[in-house]
Amino acid sequence: MTIYDIYEAAKARGLVRSKREFSTAYLGGAPNYLADAGLDGCSARALLHLYRRLGEEGQADLQAMAFRRLLETAARP
């Protein structure tokens, strides 16, 4: 599961229209954050922001995916 999978699911549900919108509204970053961070480059801060926003939107399954990504990021040396 990558951050792009979460983005694609959010887009399919109509939560966002673009990577730029996802970067600002869900990752709390600059409009180009997702493009610059890559598949596994999102910071723990961005993933925590994503986790919180998905909770606010009532997207429990996507929130669980974000939490898994957050745990994987925290486990990296």
Q: What is the pLDDT of residues 37-50, one digit of tens each?
A: 876 688 999 999 99
Q: What is the pLDDT of residues 5-32, one digit of tens each?
A: 999 999 999 999 999 999 999 999 999 9
pTM equals: 0.90
Torsional sign, CA 41, 46, 64, 3: negative
Instruction: State how many domains the chain has.
Output: 1
Sequence-separated (6 or more) residues with CB below 8 Å from residue 34: 3, 4, 7, 19, 20, 22, 23, 27, 42
Domain containing residue 14: 3-75
Q: What's the token pair of residue 18?
A: 């673009």
